[in-house]
């Protein structure tokens, strides 16, 4: 795998820089001659000076530290003349401030031509990288992933990697000497992204709705009863209504293809249930290898996703592992992780480990809002299912 991937170039995040003056003649702004040291003014998003910010100068490789300075009460961080002279024209400047690195920046700077000396620190981001690797394949993963041309590394924990605090920007993720993904982080973002590792990542597309029928993709191999929709406790289904066939729940958009779409009114305490059997009446599947569920959604509602045990324990009640999520306008990905399910014995919500080998239903409970669209339901950590 290491030899098959090709290195990609890292995208650089360029912040808008504005000029300033400095009264100390030893620390003028960077010039084309770079004959003096450099003074950088560190500000926040509102351009207010930041004191006690740690500012570091790195060579253009992004990993070799040249010098670190701390900004004073006016937000000014100074670098020595000999530090600047050792830079080969271009470099990176890192800024960190706030409790637990809450503000950060990673800014390219051309020491030969730049006359600007202001850098803006924005809310830092966090990045979790899933691999979708089964437990038995974790030994084939790299121990460390690296954001190319930066000092940011993440150690492997099981089958995933976590960068707890990194600046906003566009980065290339590198495993060993090979690029494996490009990621774009907005300020303050909490990103949870799959990084596909050839020969290791496992995914099963449970449903993409492209065939337009009521059967999920397990039915291509094993029989099941497919999708159904029910309005409960005062909720009302508007589209499709309760007597329409499943085709009425399928919509289509240019560039996206087909997806499940429902309009509804939940009432004061009602909900809409969208569900599908994984098998026949008493059929069940072992999904214990599941590492994440991801689905693409758009809507204006709160909803729960559940994987339910096949055996009924009451009047149409089943033990279930359940995760809560929210849909907002515009398509976006939701990631649900086994081990982070919502537990409630009163409603038969149990830990994933209790039922994961005997799953009979996939269910979506919609509790608020007026519409929900669902596309691309994917099970990570497995590449297929069997009874």
- Write the pLDDT tens digit of every residue in 156-168: 999 999 999 999 9
Please report which helix (H) or strand (E) contains residue 84, including its range. helix 81-85
Question: CA 234 → CA 68, 275, 368, distances in Å?
Answer: 63, 18, 12
Q: What is the mean pLDDT of residues 2-9?
A: 35
Q: Is pLDDT of 12 > 60?
A: no
The least confident of 11-25, 56-70, 133-147 is: 11-25
The least confident of 76-90, 198-212, 302-316, 337-351 is: 76-90
The least confident of 213-227, 286-300, 361-375 is: 213-227
Cβ(106)–Cβ(170) below 8 Å? no
Distance CA 71, CA 75 (A): 5
The least confident of 46-55, 61-70, 321-330 is: 61-70
Nearby residues of 280 by Cβ (< 8 Å), 6 or more positions away: 223, 224, 225
Express each pLDDT in 165-187 by its tens digit.
999 999 999 998 899 999 999 99
Interior angle at CA 126, CA 101 and CA 13, nearest 5:
85
Count CB-CB contacts under 10 A for residue 317: 11
Q: What is the pTM of this model?
A: 0.82
Mean pLDDT, all residues of the chain:
86
Q: What pLDDT score does 14 carry?
A: 29
Q: Which of 57, 10, 16, 60 is nearest to 170 (CA)?
A: 10
Distance CA 291, CA 130 (A): 9
Structure tokens at 181: 């993904």
Q: Is pLDDT of 105 > 60?
A: yes
pLDDT over 70 percentage in the chain: 87
Please report the sign of the dihedral spanned by the C-alpha atoms of residue 160, residue 163, residue 169, residue 170: negative
Q: Which of 173, 131, 172 is nearest to 154 (CA)?
A: 173
The least confident of 68-82, 83-97, 329-343 is: 83-97
Please report the sign of the dihedral spanned by the C-alpha atoms of residue 160, residue 164, residue 166, residue 170: positive
Q: Is pLDDT of 90 > 50?
A: yes
Cβ(6)–Cβ(178) below 8 Å? yes
Q: Is pLDDT of 261 > 80?
A: yes
Distance CA 159, CA 147 (A): 18
């Amino acid at each position: 795998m290491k030899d098959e991937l090709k290195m990609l170039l890292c995208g650089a995040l360029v912040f808008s820089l504005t000029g300033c003056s400095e009264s100390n003649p030893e620390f003028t702004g960077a010039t084309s001659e770079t004959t003096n040291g450099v003074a950088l003014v560190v500000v926040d998003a509102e351009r207010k000076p930041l004191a006690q910010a740690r500012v570091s100068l790195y060579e253009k490789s992004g990993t070799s530290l040249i010098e670190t300075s701390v900004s004073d009460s006016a937000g000014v961080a100074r670098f020595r003349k000999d530090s600047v002279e050792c830079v080969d024209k271009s470099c990176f400047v890192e800024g960190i401030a706030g409790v637990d690195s809450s503000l950060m920046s990673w800014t390219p700077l051309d020491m030969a031509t730049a006359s600007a000396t202001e850098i803006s620190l924005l809310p830092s981001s966090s990045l979790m990288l899933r691999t979708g690797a089964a437990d038995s394949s974790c030994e084939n993963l790299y121990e460390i992933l690296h954001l190319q041309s930066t000092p940011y590394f993440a150690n492997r924990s099981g089958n995933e990697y976590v960068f707890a605090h990194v600046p906003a920007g566009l980065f290339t993720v590198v495993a060993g000497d090979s690029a494996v993904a490009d990621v774009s982080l907005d300020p303050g973002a909490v990103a949870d992204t799959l990084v596909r590792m050839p020969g290791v990542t496992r995914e099963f597309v449970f449903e993409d709705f492209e065939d337009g029928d009521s059967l999920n993709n397990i039915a291509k191999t094993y029989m099941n009863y497919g999708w159904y929709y029910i309005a409960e406790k005062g909720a009302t289904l508007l589209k499709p209504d309760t007597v329409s066939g499943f085709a009425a729940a399928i919509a289509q958009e240019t560039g996206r293809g087909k997806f499940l779409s429902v309009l509804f009114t939940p009432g004061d305490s009602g909900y809409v249930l969208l569900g599908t059997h994984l098998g026949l009446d008493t059929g069940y599947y072992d999904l214990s290898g599941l590492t994440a569920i991801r689905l693409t959604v758009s809507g204006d509602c709160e909803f729960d996703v559940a994987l339910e045990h096949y055996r009924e324990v009451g009047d149409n009640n089943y033990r279930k592992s359940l995760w809560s999520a929210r849909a907002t306008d515009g398509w976006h990905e939701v990631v649900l992780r086994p081990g982070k399910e919502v537990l409630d014995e009163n409603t038969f919500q149990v830990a994933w480990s209790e039922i994961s080998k005997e799953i009979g239903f996939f269910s979506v409970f919609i509790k608020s809002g007026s519409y929900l669209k669902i596309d691309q339901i994917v099970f990570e950590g497995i590449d297929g299912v069997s009874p």
